[in-house]
Amino acid sequence: MIIHNQIYLNILNIWDHQFSSQTSLLNAQANSPLTRNIIEYLILYSQSRLWTNDIFFTTKFLDSPSKKLNRIENLFCIMHNYKLDFRFSFKFNTKGGIYPISSYFIRSNQFFNFVKSLKKKEIFYLKQIITADGLFLKTWKEIKGFLTNKKGCTPEWYKYLKENIILNQNNLRLNFDLSPTNIQNPLITRPKIIPQSSNITRIKNVWIAYWCLCTKTVIFGRVVEKNHFYNYHQTITFEHYTYIPESHHTSNNLTPRSRPTYLSKCTGCVLSENNIYNNNTLHTCYITSLSNSTIIINVSKSNLTFPNYKKPIYKCIKQFTTIQ
């Protein structure tokens, strides 16, 4: 009787009405000068709580609302089911990657325990725990090599990822491919993409730089080879060079932003990888990276000398702060 009585609301549509009302309310609060700051704080709080750079992206991995989420987080989850998109006029950017690792185990009952472990280890993006070509999960031994605190056994979140996002347990092949991001910027040049081939292309006189999530600094290098195997993303292997923070006496009259960037060969660090180049007695450091994440820089040999740094010294045209 109640369902068909005109005095009462259409109970069959109460859910839709409530959802529409809550969405409209959030939209009004996000755009009102009186409540905008509160919504910004709540979004930032949720991003920190869920350990993500994009709360809307992370909640799309949920099939239904959850008790562990708050009102706004659950509202976003429902929006995905309705094929709706909600965008704010503001955004809190987190540099260093695209895909937050927390998105891949948000369905787990141990989600917040996993997040607590990730925060202690300073692991935020999936990029930090997969290979440079974006196709394989790194072993825990490889990941631990980049961590400040190397103590402890294999964490449960790593075991969870192995069970849920790995196609082949023998080689840790991911069951999905991450498309490399290519941010268009007319002021920078990226390494040229070579045709797919089973051969390795040797490279000379090409220098690159990129931002490293593990060390949280700019990495410099001289490219020695490119790999672009079939069905893989192009990677480059380069000889690692470190930035010399001390200024040379010839640059004392220049401002920090005007001083040249001087580079010295790295003799080995935590970024060194097991490859044919590192298996020698020359104490050099070689790293492999996704080609698309690097930029081309102009470098020339310098005749200057620096205390505690061996020759040869190289000079980068761009200032360190500009590259950073």
Kindly indicate the confidence band of residue 112, based on its pLDDT and cuts at 50, 70 and 90.
Answer: very high
The mean pLDDT of the chain is 81
End-to-end CA distance of the chain: 69
Closest listed residue to residue 257, CA positions, set 319, 299, 314, 187: 319
Q: What is the mean pLDDT of residues 40-45?
A: 91
pTM for the full model?
0.62
Residue 319, both tokens: 């200032």
Domain layout of the chain by residue ranges? 11-81, 101-174, 200-246+254-323
Hey, what amino acid is at 203?
A: I
Helix (H) or strand (E) holding 253: none
Q: What is the mean pLDDT of residues 216-228?
A: 87
pLDDT digits over 150-162, tens only? 788 899 999 999 9
pLDDT of residue 83 exceeding 60, the answer is yes
Kindly indicate the confidence band of residue 49, based on its pLDDT and cuts at 50, 70 and 90.
Answer: very high
Q: What is the mean pLDDT of residues 27-52?
A: 90
The predicted pLDDT at position 235 comes to 84
The predicted pLDDT at position 6 comes to 58
The region that residue 218 occupies, defined by phi over 0 for left and psi between -120 and 50 for alpha, beta otherwise, is: beta
Q: What percent of the chain has pLDDT over 90?
A: 14
Q: How far apart are CA 155 and CA 140, in angstroms?
A: 9
Residue written as token pair 């090409």? 206
The predicted pLDDT at position 272 comes to 77
Q: How far apart are CA 290 and CA 125, in angstroms?
A: 15
Kindly indicate the confidence band of residue 278, based on its pLDDT and cuts at 50, 70 and 90.
Answer: low
The predicted pLDDT at position 110 comes to 92
Question: Which range in 72-76, 195-199, 308-312 is most confidently predicted, on average pLDDT?
Answer: 72-76
pLDDT digits over 161-211, tens only? 999 988 888 888 888 777 655 555 656 777 777 787 777 888 888 999 888
Q: Is the peptide bond before 312 cis (omega within 30 degrees of 0)?
A: yes
